[in-house]
Structure 1
Amino acid sequence: MSQPTDTTGFARSLAEGIPDRLPPAPEKDRSVSHAPTRRQVLTPAEKKLALRNALRYFPSSQHEILAPEFAAELEQEGRIYMHRFRPTEYPMAARPIGEYPARCAQAAAIMLMIQNNLDPAVAQHPHELITYGGNGTVFQNWAQYRLTMQYLSEMTEEQTLVLYSGHPLGLFPSHRDAPRLVVTNGMVIPNHSSPDDYERLAALGVTSYGQMTAGSFMYIGPQGIVHGTTITLMNAARKYLGASGDDLLKGKLYVTSGMGGMSGAQAKAAVIAGAVGVIAEINPEAIWKRHEQGWLDEVETDLDRLLARIELARVNGEAVSLGYLGNVVDLWEKLADNQVPIDLGSDQTSLHNPFGGGYYPAGLTLDESNRMMADDPARFKDEVRKTLVRHVDAVNRMVGQGMHFWDYGNAFLLEAARAGAPVTAKDGSFIYPSYVEDIMGPMCFDYGFGPFRWVCTSGDSGDLRISDGIAARVLSEMAAEAPPEIRQQLLDNQRWITEAEGHAMVVGTRARILYSDEEGRKRIALAFNEAIREGMISAP
């Protein structure tokens, strides 16, 4: 985790909010991934409204400079991010909680998590304030970030901050037991909630899509989804492959796609589960980022060499992740044409955003796709749909050869059906299950097991190690007395937490996740409280 060199300057900058004097406009930083140019959807009158919405954060004396600058951003990027106000005076990363200029610990913790969500090591497109999923937004612009940090630095335990799609409405009187922060994102009535409506409202600067943990400031890096993916793969092996014991997926092949903020967890999860994981990713920045972080073992650009490596790994029973830098449809078609024996398959492209960078057509490079997305969105949409049909055709062929496939909750089947691909039965239902209804639901969620996360606000790896040990002890005690229907889940989570540090999953602030039911959450939380009270853990 990055450490500041000047905590006084850092604290002063956060507490200042939007500076009185305009900061210099930074050059575009090519060392980080940037969001694709969004398509132009606003009328001339709506573009003026978008500018007025953006300029409301600034005194009229600055409008002459900022108006043309923001207009250029809107024209060139499809959004107004206010790049001039992106902080460059300090590294964007979560710091120990004591370094934040806050009047209450809750506010400092929120500031810590906001910066974690925007850390370039964590976020997908950090300078466009996108944490994951192509459009999982923390704030709509950098003015909102600066204002929110200012409010949090002023907040007491008798106040609550209210945010609406990143826009801070202000600090309101409340009480110690009230929430310190109330957040709502993307609240739109159903008749105006289509994808086209979203694009227009987002371009206007009046709504944002916060995903599950981006706009609520709770993202702990891809580790958060590694655990769920690991448990999903292990239970899929039990259900679909009849596997048992510790080596559930040894010599088994899992094929999928995505190396982004969430999907990037699949490579690590496949290795933890003991499988040969093959993951396609078209964005070189995303795939090399995961490789450099140690989350992806190998990267291949040639499909023939990849198939040879897959066979070697499968025969040797390796637990290894193999990344393919290219389009996932090219991968699926190559596997199908060569009748490669695949055991499990899924997809984690961002098909909740199919025409805005969440899914890329086959036959085009990433740059060609991004240009077409902005310059000819109708053709881009048509190419996406054609590719989805090919995608499904290859998957169907592999299922015919014995592969088990599921939808990962990313709208793959929904968008494939809309594209005309054969994914529905005669009664209109999908021919493949979702991972929730078929795997995680009956095996975890139906028994009250779900994500339970904690963050060590000290930033100290020692605190995380102690918390891992506490959680493992509680899970062991619970497993010894649990009924048979939930004992396996407790044992899976105990194994996960015992091995977690060894898998080096922390990206960003020191945090951990496991799945727990209500009893487990209470027992682990109470044990954490006791450890903090006794000084075993140094901070909340």
Structure 2
Amino acid sequence: RQDLHIDLGSDQTSLHNPWAGGYYPVGLSFEESNELMAKDPEKFKEKVQESLRRQTEAINRHTKKGTYFFDYGNAFLLEASRAGAKIFKDEQGNFVTAEKAKDKENFAYPSYVQDIMGPMCFDYGFGPFRWVCASGKQEDLDKTDAIATEVLQRLKENSPEEIQQQMQDNIKWIQGARENKLVVGSQARILYADALGRIEIAKAFNDAIAKGKIGTVVLGRDHHDVSGTDSPYRETSNIYDGSRFTADMAIQNVIGDSFRGATWVSIHNGGGVGWGEVINGGFGMVLEGNKESERRLRSMLYWDVNNGIARRSWARNDGAVFAIKRAMETEPQLKVTLPNMVDESLLKTL
């Protein structure tokens, strides 16, 4: 159909693995693609890049007519640029290839972390907190859902205006979690929460374990979080001070978690963006229903989140500056250097 207006568009193809089945080129069937991939990988690569250029051209035409397009972060923009697609803009706003772009670090389109997840969630410390009921029992998972709901409802009453929407969204999410089968892997429940939310929920789990209401709970999180990942094309794409191309935060995160009480930690590469494009740090923490578990969860979860908020505040992200100030108010021992803001009008006079 011609003249069809598209309001919203994105891409989530697995272009972190473009030459081995992550992206199938137009014009070839699934079977033909697999055969070409195996028998003539260079030809298959040419077909993928040809298709990427075609796809980018179609996206550009739609956005000129008002479509809002964003990249999920699975390396679509990156691989399109390597394929010679017009995925950048020049100073006049025209779509150009990387060769003709003056700014080669910023694509014509944002990742969804830049425009959505970063400003709304990560900068405020909200990210995918995760837990598994080691018993494997549905009733234990139901009880943890109820505990998390009660904690979030209580915290929402005194939450600042800046995060009221996030709190309400997460309450609605956890209330509908069982009905919508919102579990992954080993029946892991994921719930977006900030540092205070994670600590209070984990403490409530630990207390319930101590009283024999539920079995052992293992805490974790997705790598797609506030501070566990250095990924310039996704998780840290909304850090604009130049440091998004460094890989220090994930390492600091893992080291800090390790001696603040994590049961285990991991550092790994890849994670949905591509080998060599991202460093991820993760942890697991076993709650045993005792005072030692409470001590560890308070120390480690606080660091695990605020490490990333500090980094984002140094990039002068408004939400992160707000969040780290709030963190220092609630914990006087936390000392984080705040960025010195520059009056833009003064710069214009130079």
TM-score (structure 2 length as normaliser): 0.56
5+ residue gaps, structure 1? 1-336
SS at match of 2:131: strand
What is the match of residue 382 of structure 1? 46
1:508 shift after superposition: 4.4
Judge conservation of contact 2:18–2:48 (CA < 8 Å) in 1: yes
What is the match of residue 365 of structure 1? 29
TM-score (structure 1 length as normaliser): 0.37
CA distance in 2, matches of 1:420, 1:351: 15
Judge conservation of contact 2:182–2:190 (CA < 8 Å) in 1: no
What is the match of residue 467 of structure 1? 144
Judge conservation of contact 1:352–1:358 (CA < 8 Å) in 2: yes
What is the match of residue 490 of structure 1? 167
Letter in 1 for 2:137: D
Match of 1:343 among 2, 7, 11: 7
SS at match of 1:502: coil
Q: Following TM superposition, where does structure 1 have runs of at least 4 consecutive aligned residues deviating by more than 6 angstroms?
A: none
Deviations 1:88-142 (A, max 9, x none): xxxxxxxxxxxxxxxxxxxxxxxxxxxxxxxxxxxxxxxxxxxxxxxxxxxxxxx
1:531 and 2:208 are equivalent in the alignment: yes
What is the match of residue 434 of structure 1? 111
What is the match of residue 393 of structure 1? 57
1:507 shift after superposition: 5.0
Which of the pair has more CA radius of gyration?
1
The count of corresponding residues between Structure 1 and Structure 2 is 204
1:472 shift after superposition: 0.9
After the TM superposition, which residues 89-488 of structure 1 pair with which residues of structure 2 at under 5 Å, given as runs? 337-426=1-90, 427-428=102-103, 429-488=106-165
SS at match of 1:501: coil
Q: Which has the higher contact order (CA 8 A, sep 6+)?
A: 2
What is the match of residue 221 of structure 2? none
After the TM superposition, which residues 4-153 of structure 1 pair with which residues of structure 2 at under 5 Å, given as runs? none
5+ residue gaps, structure 2? 91-101, 218-350
CA distance in 1, matches of 2:143, 2:79: 44
Deviations 1:376-407 (A, max 9, x none): 01110000001001111121222223221111
1:422 shift after superposition: 1.1
Judge conservation of contact 2:183–2:190 (CA < 8 Å) in 1: no
1:368 shift after superposition: 1.0
Letter in 1 for 2:178: E
> Percent identity at matched positions?
56
What RMSD, in angstroms, separates the aligned Cα atoms of the two structures? 1.4
Deviations 1:492-530 (A, max 9, x none): 111100111111233543221011111111100000011
CA distance in 2, matches of 1:512, 1:505: 7
Letter in 1 for 2:45: K
CA distance in 1, matches of 2:22, 2:43: 16
